[in-house]
Every structure is written in structure tokens, then in C-alpha cells.
Amino acid sequence: MNPDDSESGHTLVRIMTLAVSLLAAPLVRLCAPLRCAGAALVSLAVLTGCAISQDIAVAPDESVRIVVSQAPDWPGTIEVRNESVGGESPEALAGAGAGALAGGVWGLACGPLAPLCVPLGVLAGAEVGVVAGLAVGTTAALPEDKAGRLRDRVTRALQSHDLRGELEAAIVDRAQGHWNTSGDKPTVLVAIELREFVMASTRDERIRCVVKVAVTVGAAEPAQAQKGKRRVYEYVSPYGSLATWLDESVGLAEANFANASQHLATEIVSGLAAKP
């Protein structure tokens, strides 16, 4: 092989390596095996999301009754989810990225068929990488003794903190600037239900909480109340260390509950007051 051929070959390798890097990121996110295997579930979730994300705007001249309640099983046994497991967890994405790059480099060995082999290698490598990444993520679950202490701490905080009452007061306070909320004959019922409360942990024991509520807007008549439009809102707290969450003198749990009521109230009233 003459020097020109050698230089051309090196240039081709550099170009194909760059192509692998450009292909890897979008293909990893697009074709991670968990997302492909769960395509039917994802489609169902999307349809469900559309069904519960309806326009809930209320006309400014309405008389509104606001009711905040809790689901019968609220908050139940508090779940501590491992955020290191999932198709888009840091471990899974890191494994997918490394696997995709290795698979792409393997594809370069196909010579003239490299344009075909590289994408296939990226996808195959990503699949292996995600599986390896998830295996790492699974070992990152919060130990049960620590999870139990976190549940106990948060359960006590919820019992001593009236999240339902605080949320109702915050919503009514904001709603008074838009509608008549004290009329004897309300025309619209806004029903807010505390639905779900979960804790989530990361590999390095960073903790956050998620509060979900469902808002249903319908006619105030009891016979029509269940036929209203519905939207789901959620509050996701910032991360804090496990030690900070467990320290009752710091009051991080209570502070996050207060933030949740204010954040949710702002989002809910904003949705109710949105112009068509």
C-alpha cells in the first residue's frame, strides 16, 4: 500500500469514528432495550397521559367550590424507589453509551460494509451496555435498614404536617383573585385529591420526594361532578442527603411538604385560570 492509500485509510477511519460518536447518543436513547421491550406499555402510558391532561380552565365569572381530599390509601406504605434502575438511569445510559461506542468501533472492521455494520454495532453494543448498566444500578438500591428509617421519618412528618389542609388553604387563597369562592350556590366544583407520595434514592444516597395530585373540574351538581375534566400535577423536591432527611432537627421533610403545597397550588390555579 502506498503512502497515499495509507493516509486515505486513516482519514476514513477518523471519519467513521466521528460518525460512531454522533450516532451513539441518539440511537442509545431511541432504542434502549427497555424502551423497545416496553413499547406497548409506553404507548398505553402516553394515551393515559393524554386522557388526564385535559384543559381544566374555568371562566372568570363562575362561582367555584374547592374541595381537597386524600385518596383512601394515602399515603399508604411509603415506597422508596431506586432511581438507579430504569431505561434512562445514569447507570443504564452510561453502559449504553460505552457499549454503543464499542459496537461502532467493531463495525469499522467490516471494511466496505462499514456503513451497514456501524449502526448495527452501535445498537447491539447499546443493548449489552444497558443490561450491564442496569445490573450495576440494581446494586445501588438503598439498604432496607436505611429505607425503613427513611419511611419512619417521613411517615411521622406526614402525620404531624397537615398537607391536605395546607394545600387547600393555598389554593383557595390564590383562587380568590379569579373567582367567587364563597358563594352559596357554586356552579363549578374543583376537586383536588392527593393521590401518590413516593420517595426516590440515587446510588450515592441522595433522596427526594414526589407528590402527585389529581384535579377534576366539573359542574357543582353531585350528579355531574364525576363527569368533569381531569389533570394530574406533581411536585418533585430537590435532592437532599439521606442524613439530612433523617435529621428531625433540620426539618427537611416538613420544608418539602410546605414547598409542595405552595408549588402545587400555584400550578393548579394557573391551569384553572388559563385562557382557552
139-187 pLDDT, tens digit each? 458 999 999 999 999 999 999 999 999 999 999 999 999 999 988 899 9
Q: What is the pLDDT of residue 243?
A: 97
Exposed/middle/buried for residue 197 (C-beta within 10 Å: 0-12, 13-18, 19+): buried
pTM of the model: 0.64
* Cβ neighbours for 45, distance < 8 A, ≥ 6 positions apart: none
Least confident range of 49-63, 72-86, 137-151, 196-210: 49-63
Distances (CA, A) of 191 to 69, 218, 232, 252: 8, 8, 12, 29
Contact 140, 82 (CB under 8 A): yes
The percentage of residues in the chain with a pLDDT greater than 70, rounded to a whole number, is 58
257-276 pLDDT, tens digit each? 999 999 999 999 999 998 76
